[in-house]
Amino acid sequence: MKALSQKRRHPLAVIALLLMGLLVTGGLYAVATTVNEAKASTSGYTANDVEEGGKLFVANCATCHGMGASGTANGPSLVGVGAASVDFQVGTGRMPMQMNGPQAQKKPAQFNDEQTRQLSGYVASLGAGPAIPEEGLLDEKGDAAAGGELFRVNCAMCHNAAAAGGALTRGKFAPALADVSGKHIYEAMVTGPQNMPVFSDTNVTPEGKRDVVTFLKQIEANGSPGGADLGALGPVSEGLFVWIAGLGVIIAFTIWLTSRTS
Amino acid sequence: MSAASRAEAPAFVAKTKVGRITDFVDERVGGSGILREFGRKVFPDHWSFMFGEVALYSFVILLLSGTFLTFFFDPSMAETHYDGSYLPLKNVEMSVAYSTSLDISFDVRGGLFMRQVHHWAALLFVASIAVHMLRVFFTGAFRKPREMNWVVGSVLLILAMAAGFTGYSLPDDLLSGNGLRIIDGVMKAIPVVGTYISFFFFGGEFPGTAVIGRLYMLHILLVPALILLMIVLHLFMVVVHKHTQYPGPGRNDGNVVGYPLGPVYAAKAGGFFFIVFGVIALMAGFFTINPIWNYGPYDPSPVSAGTQPDWYIGFVDGALRLMPGVIGDFQFEYVVFGYTLTLNVLLPALVPAGILFTVMFMYPWIESWITKDTREHHVLDRPRNAPTRTAIGVAGFVWYCVMWAAAGSDLIATHFRVSLNDVTYWLRALFFIGPVIAFMVAKRVALALQRKDREIALHGRETGRIVRLPHGEFIEVHAPLDEYKRYKLVGFESPAPLPAVANDHGIVTRKEKQRAFLSKWFFEDRVAPATPAELEAAHGHPAHPAVEAGQESKSLSH
């Protein structure tokens, strides 16, 4: 200890300290970025998949996204968006996009599962990006209550507490989440399609995302314990119902009750 | 009492046991006198007269179902971990109030049904009050001698909204908590004293640990007691004033034509209670309302999409949504003497509601001042026969509806696939021009209907039978009306504008000039009912069209 304190004014001490600081910062940064690093997982795809996917891409996507998915004025570059993004956009029918608008609309998928996989493989081969989630994260056996809390804090302000969807600005909207597969929900969280923010693995852990999927699937399976849910839209649909159906039926009765007089 | 008089009056002894008991009670409380008086009370029959009853019955149902809920609800804001049978909330941290609300929904036998009965009845309660008030307004039933009862009814509307809002907040779920947060914001926007009011109300910083208990006391004690008191006053005045009636042959301001309360009307009204109860029970059984388990426990950080208040508070929420934060560079927030004045909250939250309620409370006096009409009215106006009043009512109604619709602007955007911004811009424009257009359209429609009535009274009903005359002309045969129907079309008043009159000192005051101006505005456009002379002329020579009535034509006197 004494030696250290004696040599602290050595001319090289500053340089040593600087080196140490740089090493620590750089090391920490390297660790931090790898934690949140998108894994370029081309392992599941054969060279044939990538080649076929490339052909499909040229025929169907390159008009907007450019040759080699490098992007044009009409569509962004897809280098580094990952397989999960392609699987979500193509698997839910949002891509190829039907028409220009505030955001891409869900529609029947234009490619079968095999073609979607090939496209995903091709795009994943272009650069590292989020991979399609593993089966273990989609088993819907997480903690629904924890998922519910994550959902209310992170998702409900756009998607509604009952996942019934909601409006965003200028014609954009957050869709209802019933009938969306667990895989697509997960992929949406990691890739942030349309106007949705990305929920990276450091923001919401893979287990957390599994809980969210579990919660959504559980409330979907539960249905509505109190009877018809009127769209799960809250007081507006309830108010409409009481004015139209409730008062309507009562007015019919009042007319009946007072009809037998002169 | 002397022994002689006791001997003179032979004691009546009923033959049956029931009769003897009835007699016993009657001798002590005079029940037969009350029954005789009330049983003979005559009520005119019309479907539009029954909304007040619907409100009354909804209130009874609210008392019954609400009492059931108090058995299981605990208004405590103490923290607990949910341990009931709804799995998606298992072990989630929440208040005891929310936890017991969930228990009522999932673990108390019949609890969910009773909760839904209570909530649907609350919505129907306020809705039927609103429709009742619209009926009273558009038929002119608020005129002398019923002005005070109109005020009592308006107070009941406000109390019903207060009862609804305090109840809506009790489960301490995310949805109602967001509503309370808005109330907190509105309170804090009141200049100078706002923060004090908020701190007193919540017992400290929002949300605190006191507010649910306080709202509970208001909801189950004070507000229902006030409502009950107002209902008693309201019904007492109905008995004193007797019921109004629609115009018709043999009906005038001195009589009431209808059925006596006993036995027919009492049976109908009693049966109607069960009909209302049945409709509410069916709604509660088949349609969910306020699914609090979807919303989760209240936590000030999340705000769900689609957060709205119950319908009767919607217009205030809508006004808040319509208010721009800034217009270009124009700010609505100022610092005056160190106090923040937040007009973009204060204006929309208090001004439209303030205007609506002020005009509502004062309308009977406003109208009687303009028209100088201080007579008693027991025969109602058909809305078309008071075009300006009808137009004022429709304008106010449209203004309310624009704000009401704005509360659902996000759902309008998603369900009609339009931009939320465009919905807001359109509703902002309609907020200002909607009432004006509504006024003009409603007034024109009323006048057109009056002209149609006049036409039918003079020339009869179109039969659709076309006849060719010998000289080749085609005419449509008009069938004459029977006298009862014709009475309805001609038996109304159409007052002319009252010009300004000098007072006792021979001076025409500025106020009187204003009144005369408003009177002109009120009565300038008018269609006079067909006079007996015109009817005579029209019916005497059916082939010729009747002469148009002059401006000064008088109404029929009855």
The verdict on A152 and A122 lying in the same domain is no
What mean pLDDT comes out for the span B158-186? 94
Mean pLDDT computed over every residue of chain B: 89
Q: Does residue A120 sit in the same domain as residue A189?
A: no
Q: Residue B461: what are its φ and ψ, rounded to 5°?
A: -85, 140
Domain boundary pick from A126, A157, A174: A126
Inside any domain, residue A216: yes
Q: Report pTM.
A: 0.87
Q: Do residues A209 and A140 both lie within one domain?
A: yes
Partners of residue B48 in chain A, C-beta under 8 Å: 254
In a domain, A140, yes or no: yes
Same domain, A153 and A189: yes
Query: The domain containing residue A186 runs over which residues?
Result: 135-222
Are residue A189 and residue A119 in the same domain, yes or no? no
Distance from CA of A150 to the nearest CA of B (A): 10
Partners of A261 on chain B (C-beta within 8 Å) are 45, 259
Q: Token pair 């056996």 is at which residue? A: A141
B288-319 pLDDT per residue, tens: 999 999 999 999 888 888 889 999 999 999 99
A217: nearest Cα among A206, A229, A227, A209: A209
The domain boundary, picked from A87, A109, A126, lies at A126
Contact B448/B391 with Cβ under 8 angstroms? Answer: no
pLDDT higher than 70, residue A18: yes
Residue B346 near chain A (CB below 8 Å): no
SS (H, E, C) B200-217: HHHCCCCCCCCHHHHHHH
Task: Verify that A116 and A144 share a domain, yes or no.
Answer: no
pLDDT of residue A260: 67
Q: Considering its fold, how many domains does chain A have in total?
A: 2
Residue B220's pLDDT is what? Answer: 96
Query: Does residue A4 form part of some domain?
Result: no
Residues A119 and A141 both lie in one domain: no
Q: Which pLDDT score, from 0 to 100, does residue A262 have? A: 47
Interface of A with B in 13-72 (CB under 8 A): none
DSSP one-letter code for A72: B
CATH number, residue A106: 1.10.760.10
With cut-offs at 50, 70 and 90, classify the pLDDT of residue B435: very high
The mean pLDDT value for B185-205 works out to 93
**What is the number of other CB atoms lying within 10 angstroms of the CB of residue B74?**
17
Q: Per the CB < 8 Å rule, is A149 touching B296?
A: yes
Distance from CA of B381 to the nearest CA of A (A): 19
Chain B hits for A158, Cβ within 8 Å: 305
ipTM above 0.85, yes or no: yes
State the pLDDT at residue A43: 60
* Per-residue pLDDT at B553: 38
Report CA Rg, chain A.
27
For position A36, what pLDDT does the model report? Answer: 52
A139 and A218 in a single domain? The answer is: yes
Q: What is the pLDDT of residue B7?
A: 53
Q: Is residue A18 part of a domain?
A: no
Min Cα separation A193/chain B (Å): 18
Of the candidates A160, A227, A246, which has its C-beta nearest B279's C-beta?
A246
- Return the pLDDT at B551: 36
Closest-CA residue to A208 (of A193, A226, A189, A224): A189
- Chain segment A243-252, per-residue pLDDT in tens: 999 999 999 9
Question: Distance (Å, rounded) from C-alpha A104 to C-alpha A91?
Answer: 13
B314–chain A nearest CA distance, Å: 9
Q: How far apart are the first and last CA of chain A?
A: 112
The rounded distance, in Å, linking the Cα atoms of B212 and B298 is 12
Tell whether A238 is covered by a domain. Answer: no
Instruction: Please check whether residues A142 and A208 belong to one and the same domain.
Output: yes
| Rounded CA separation A155/A211 (Å) | 13
HEC-encoded secondary structure of B147-175: HHHHHHHHHHHHHHHHHHHHHHHCCCEHH
One-letter identity of residue B236: F
pLDDT of residue B541: 55
Q: Which residues contact A227 (CB under 8 A, 6 or more apart)?
A: B116, B284, B285, B286, B287, B288
Domains present along chain B, CATH in parentheses: 3-34 (no CATH), 46-246+261-301 (1.20.810.10), 382-494+529-558 (no CATH)
Rg, chain B, Cα only: 30
Same domain? A144 vs A194: yes
The answer to whether residue A207 is domain-embedded is yes
Specify the DSSP class assigned to residue A108: S
Determine, for residues A229 and B291 on separate chains, whether the beta-carbon distance falls below 8 Å.
Answer: yes
Look at residues A104, A126, A148 and tell me which one is the last residue of a structural domain.
A126
A121 in a structural domain: yes
pLDDT tens-place string over residues B380-410 = 999 999 999 999 999 999 999 999 999 999 9
**Are residues A145 and A110 both part of a single domain?**
no
Residue of B nearest to A216 (CA): B88
Query: Can you state the angle between helices B314-322 and B420-459, rounded to 10 degrees?
Result: 120
* A244 is a domain residue: no
Percent above pLDDT 90 for chain B: 64
Task: Return the closest-CA partner of residue A187 out of A162, A211, A209.
Answer: A209
Per-residue pLDDT at A175: 93
- Write a three-state SS string for A209-242: HHHHHHHHHHHHHHCCCCCECHHHCCHHHHHHHH
Predicted local distance difference test score (pLDDT) of residue A215: 94
The answer, yes or no, to whether residue B221 has pLDDT greater than 90, is yes
Summarised one tens digit per residue, pLDDT across range B124-171 is 999 999 999 999 999 999 998 999 999 999 999 999 999 999 999 999
| Dist. CA B379–CA B359, nearest whole Å | 24
Dihedral of the alpha carbons of B76, B77, B80, B82, in degrees to the nearest 10 = 80
Which chain A residue's Cα is nearest to B258?
A261
In this structure, the answer to whether residues A107 and A153 fall within a common structural domain is no
C-alpha span between B30 and B38 (Å, rounded): 13
